[in-house]
Each structure stands twice: as structure tokens, then as C-alpha cells.
Structure 1
Amino acid sequence: MPGGNVGADHAIFEQGASAGNVGNEKLVEQKKANPVALLLSSAMMLRHLQFPSFADRLETAVKRVISEGKCRTKDLGGSSTTQEIVDAVIAALE
């Protein structure tokens, strides 16, 4: 789950602790952690920084990769690595 904490002077965007990757060293070591929450948090940050078109592009690319179903991490029923997901999202950017 993407998340953000926004204050009067500062903001931080990160994946939520319930994402399943946090503290799971085995997934990280195997390079099978799902990066989607972090990517969507990045889109939230872009929107906060007033770059909505870049945020839209990133969100659309993430949704496209997930909906195509060719590249999914284990928690989504696939066997893709973290890097394979990131590479697919980069390729899907318009």
C-alpha cells in the first residue's frame, strides 16, 4: 500500500508497513519484493510536488503492467523479480 505523511513544511512518501516486504529479508535477498507500493508512493510524491502528468504516467504504467499479468511478483501469483517489475513499468511509460 502506498503512503505519505505530509506536514506543514515536510513530506515523506513510502510503502506502508503492511506491504509485506517491510522486514522480510528473505524476499529482499531473493530480489522478489513487490515494488508496486513504492512506485505508487513515488507517484504520490510527484503529485505533491505538482508534477501531475508525471504521476499519471507512472500510475498508468504500473496499472498496465499489473493488468497485463505477464510480469507479477509471487504475492500476485507470479514469479517475477523486483527488477523485472521495475523494468516492465519503465517500458510501459508513455
Structure 2
Amino acid sequence: MQAYIYRSRKKEDTYVFLAKEDGFDVLPAGLDAQLAPWDSVMTLELHPERKLARGNAAAVMENLSQRGFHLQFPPASTIDPMSSDWGTDA
């Protein structure tokens, strides 16, 4: 299965995988308005065993089949930035 991957210019590390090249008509209008414009990143051949940097290829394929798109958000940070030692003595 082919996936066409685009990166949001508005939200860092946010990507949409589309089942059809430039098939943005499948995105909910509100979602597209919040994240567009999109930059093409790559075309990827997906199969269930394929390793992805983030996410599960089988889940991406299911979303592409059912919805025509898969949205990938940045990973949630589990580190509390306020707990770090910033090198101050205050």
C-alpha cells in the first residue's frame, strides 16, 4: 500500500499520511484549516511488518483504508521541564 506523507507548516513534527497523492479532500475541514499548508515529504510503500520511526505500520494502513488519512502528532514529552537543573543558583 502506498502512503503519501506531508508535513504541516503550522505545527512542528506533525505529519499526515494520505492514501491518495494530494488527496487532502478526505481531511476534516477543521483539521486541515489548523494544520495546512502542507509540504510533501515522501512516498512510502507500507506493509504490516514495516518499521516506522513513530507508530505502527498496520495501524497506519488501517487508517488509510478506513479514513483515507492517518495523522501523526509529535511525541508527548514525559519529562517535566520545570524539574531540570538549569544551572542557576537562585
Bigger Rg over Cα: 2
Higher relative contact order (CA 8 A, sep 6+): 2
Structure with a larger share of its residues in strand = 2
**What TM-score, normalized to structure 2?**
0.22
